[in-house]
Structure 1
Amino acid sequence: MKHPDTMKTTQRTAWTAPSVLLLTLILAGCSVAPVYDKPAVDTPAAYKEAAPEADPRWKTARPAEALARGQWWTVFGDAELDRLEDRALAANQNLKAAAARLAQARAMLGSARAERYPELNAGFGPSRQRPSPASRGLPDDAPSSATTLWRAQATVSYEADLFGRIASGVDAASAQAEQSEALFRSVQLALQADVAQNYFRMRELDAEQQLYAATVALRERSLKLVQRRFDEGDISELDLARSRTELASAQAEAIEIARQRSAAEHALAILLGQPPASFGLPARPIARMAVTIPAGLPSELLERRPDIAAAERAVAAANARVGIARAAFFPRLSLTGALGYESGELGNLLDWPARAFVLGPLVGTALTLPIFDGGRRSAELERARAAYEEDVANYRQAVLDAFREVEDNLASLRLLDEQNRAQDAAVASAARAAGLSQIQYREGSVSYLDVIDADRNVLQQRRAAVRLDGERARATVGLIRALGGGWSEAPPSTAMVGTSMATIITTP
């Protein structure tokens, strides 16, 4: 029969183990991380620069990174641009670097999630040791011999997430992975826009080259006419010198345009991920852009911007890190154990009597409670809170920048329409004045200087018109980029970037 005290001890032990386990499970469900609320931002009721017929309704911006953007560049109906965009998405090195950063963030998320589970290890090997006599409770001069101990054992360790430290780490890593994906999309969108804008820049320079080629041909004919009249004694050498000067000036400016086109072609080659020496694009002058972005754009478009999504996910990650810093003030429970065999002889290692186990902390204690650290944990908490406030400010600034970029491009397109009409009228008037000056010069009523001035004015006005066409094309691309990459929510085709992104991420 058991002694009453022994029975009480047994009952106490029987009740204590479940109680401790229950308490551990209860504490594991507790988290000291602050509840995350997306920061509020001020939004206007309507776009200031939108056309009057635009929908004035607006709502709070919410990053919607999962929405499909589509191959927005196909709206220009340019097969050459479509081909260049596909090449850039497949070979651009900056995009591949962004994909690698995304893969790193996802791997870090996997590492953070692994902390939720026990860690199991196995080991095998001998240890040779000679304990001191004093450590065995013997006199210092007592004999002591060296022994060899063979071990084959498995060890397990597990940290109970009492106050949400591990959960907060997973939340932070998850938000970081989502931020990296949004940043990848941002790099992707920037690449698409840069390719389109560089392409239209080259087409603009092609139009200028075409314009200067026609100007050089015209001035060559004028020089022949002036030369003939000089040879016949109708005019002085001054008109001949002026005609030669104008021809040489046009030829020099044509060479400058060729130099700029070469630089633009080289820049486009780099965006495509290939050396400039192996890339060339046939000349094709830009045409007046017929694409018009709808003025009544839905409010969701601004929400699709990847940079805003990245900034918002950075706020969520910072909020989770505040939870990690708070959890450092509370106890940590680490459970460890080892099970295996120990023997002085290798041949006896796996014998049943050689079995051994350890339950409890292999090193240190199972439950640790921080008491004093000189204010280090408080400083870490303050740093985490300040980092959160910084990310909130960055998020709100990203929203403001997005509104500004949309407004800028809406204003550019609206005013470029007016400017194009005025410039077309200027080109027509300048061409009419140049034709009249040629007639009057032949009749001898005006000097050749008037003809030169009229020709210069025609060239300047036509060149300004070409530049406006290029500006309109780039502003259209800029507006699409500011809106997050298109205004259609239709799912992308199989050739869209989703496939390209997966290819990039999985390519070694």
Structure 2
Amino acid sequence: MNKQLSNYSVSALLLSCLAACAVGPDYQKPDVAMPKGWQTNTSFHPAEPSDGVLKGNWWEMFGDEQLNQLEQQAAQHNQSLVVAAERLNQARLQVTASSSIQLPQVDLQASDARFKTSANRPLAVYGMPNSSVVQNNPQLGFAVGYEADLFGRVRRVVEGVKAAEGQATADFENTKLMLMSDLAADYFNLRELDVEIDIVEKGVVLQAKALDFIRIRHDLEAASGLDLAEQQALLDTNKTQLVLLQNQRSSVQNALSTLTGTPAPEFKLAPQVVKLVAPSLPVGLPADVLQRRPDVASAERAMAVANANIGVARAAYYPTIMLQANGGWDSNQMANLFNAPSILWSLGAGLTQHLFDAGKTTANVKIAESSYVAATANYRQSVLIAMQEVQTGIDSMAILNGANHQAEAAEASSARVLELANDRYTGGLDIYLNVISAQQSLLASQRQAVQIHGQQMLNAVYLVKALGGGWQGMVAAH
């Protein structure tokens, strides 16, 4: 008796060990070498990101109510975001569907038939002739099937599906981040064009007045025909520039309509001249990118999926064990169906083991292992790209700040040159060509300053996207 108990204990322990193990490697996130900091002269404070926290409304840091409304509209109506949301929903449902294979499957079976046997059927017992019989055959029963996951195939399948759900979640967040950042970039591009158009329109008005002034002087024979023609050419040139800028604005406005899920003919944003000032941004530490970037998170979850698939492939080396139980009632009369003699049942187990598959299982394992190597390389590449984009944004921030100071100085100098050129021409000390040149120089300086402001706004959006979107409790850099 003790020997039987000992054998039972050993068997139970063996089964417990098998149940606790699963074929294939356990997933471990690979280490990635990260630099200690960014190459920048701008001081910043370390961030405290929270992995798994949904991205906040980061666009609100720009303080533009029109942008906030457009972002909310895009979140509700953009069709690309709807597609990403449905893919996430499918991934979550797939987890539910796949997790069900960890539990027994129970089926109910019921039938009722009336049949006639053939008198000419083959004999079951020689010496006893067959006869034709008409019978009823009602049946009611159930079947229970369960895969004994001793080698962990089912667990690896569920593990992979759950990792795929995490990947779909990260993909949804990445789609949302890309959408919101593209919309913000187009919006600030539109507002930069509004300011630039306003500058050119004011220049056209002033140049038209200057043309009238030159025409009067020409009529009084105080100005030459060349002066008049040069001023007319300048006016026509800037009118052409105005038309081209308005065409650019129309294209950007149409792009915004699609991003917000609105038909282009029904979408219109009134021109608005606003001062474009980029906000200070918290850049954090390089390691934070691993926690904030949804595309990096997606690549990491793809590794987990590939790792689980290795276990699924290796499980084909081991037998599949199915436990089955059947029971119910079978009778030739409905009235006797639930009588005790009508009860039937069966308990059993089935084992399937591939003995020869011409190398199919080995090839599938190598394919799974190769996929994991590729997924790991893709993850490392996504981290490198993330660091590249953040570093580019930081570099551009410093460079554009310096360019902005130079542009402001150039605009002030050009305004002074135009003032002096007008005074000299009015006093008869200089030719009008110098006035034309000074006007063009001032207009170019003004437009350049506005364009740099626009680039600062776009770079701020780019840096937000590179950093992964919203932050929780972060301190801005100055």
1:39 aligns to what SS in structure 2?
Answer: coil
Contact 1:70 1:489 (8 Å CA) reproduced: no
Q: Deviations over 1:208-251 (max 9, x none)?
A: 11011101101110111121122222333332222222212211
1:493 counterpart residue number: none
Contact 2:415 2:442 (8 Å CA) reproduced: yes
Q: 1:141 to 1:348 in 2, by over 3 A?
A: closer
Q: After the TM superposition, which residues 427-446 of structure 1 pair with which residues of structure 2 at under 5 Å, given as runs?
A: 427-446=411-430
1:33 aligns with 2:17: no
1:123 aligns to what SS in structure 2?
Answer: strand
2:386 counterpart residue number: 402
Q: 1:141 to 1:397 in 2, by over 3 A?
A: farther
1:278 aligned to which of 266, 269, 272: 266
Contact 2:84 2:172 (8 Å CA) reproduced: yes
1:382 aligns to what SS in structure 2?
Answer: helix
TM-score scaled by structure 2?
0.91
Contact 1:223 1:244 (8 Å CA) reproduced: yes
2:82 aligns to what SS in structure 1?
Answer: helix
1:494 counterpart residue number: none
2:317 aligns to what SS in structure 1?
Answer: coil
1:42 counterpart residue number: 33
2:454 counterpart residue number: 470
Contact 1:120 1:157 (8 Å CA) reproduced: yes
Contact 1:342 1:355 (8 Å CA) reproduced: yes
Specify the code of the residue in structure 1 equivalent to 2:414.
A
1:149 counterpart residue number: 137
Q: 1:411 to 1:253 in 2, by over 3 A?
A: same
Distance between the aligned counterparts of 2:178 and 2:23, measured in 1?
A: 39
Q: After the TM superposition, which residues 43-442 of structure 1 pair with which residues of structure 2 at under 5 Å, given as runs?
A: 43-48=34-39, 50-51=40-41, 53-54=43-44, 65-126=51-112, 133-134=121-122, 136=124, 149-294=137-282, 299-360=287-348, 366-442=350-426
Distance between the aligned counterparts of 2:259 and 2:465, measured in 1?
A: 17
Q: Deviations over 1:367-415 (max 9, x none)?
A: 1122111111001000000000010000000100000000000000000
Distance between the aligned counterparts of 1:147 and 1:378, measured in 2?
A: 53
Q: CA deviation at 1:449?
A: 2.2
2:412 aligns to what SS in structure 1?
Answer: helix
1:458 counterpart residue number: 442
Distance between the aligned counterparts of 2:333 and 2:6, measured in 1?
A: 42
Q: CA deviation at 1:279?
A: 2.3
1:87 aligns to what SS in structure 2?
Answer: helix
* Alignment root-mean-square deviation, CA: 2.9
Distance between the aligned counterparts of 2:123 and 2:149, measured in 1?
A: 38
Distance between the aligned counterparts of 1:270 and 1:79, measured in 2?
A: 20
1:291 aligns to what SS in structure 2?
Answer: coil
Contact 1:203 1:286 (8 Å CA) reproduced: yes
1:51 aligns to what SS in structure 2?
Answer: coil
Distance between the aligned counterparts of 1:47 and 1:54, measured in 2?
A: 10
Q: 1:334 to 1:63 in 2, by over 3 A?
A: farther
Distance between the aligned counterparts of 1:470 and 1:119, measured in 2?
A: 62
Distance between the aligned counterparts of 2:92 and 2:437, measured in 1?
A: 65
Specify the code of the residue in structure 2 equivalent to 1:382.
K
Q: Deviations over 1:313-333 (max 9, x none)?
A: 110111111111111101111
Q: Which moved more, 1:448-457 or 1:375-384?
A: 448-457
Distance between the aligned counterparts of 2:249 and 2:229, measured in 1?
A: 30
Specify the code of the residue in structure 2 equivalent to 1:51.
N
Q: Which moved more, 1:192-201 or 1:144-153?
A: 144-153
Contact 2:192 2:276 (8 Å CA) reproduced: no
Contact 2:289 2:386 (8 Å CA) reproduced: no
1:503 counterpart residue number: none
Distance between the aligned counterparts of 1:139 and 1:83, measured in 2?
A: 93
TM-score scaled by structure 1?
0.85
Q: Which moved more, 1:215-224 or 1:262-271?
A: 262-271
Percent identity over the alignment is 34
Distance between the aligned counterparts of 1:233 and 1:423, measured in 2?
A: 39
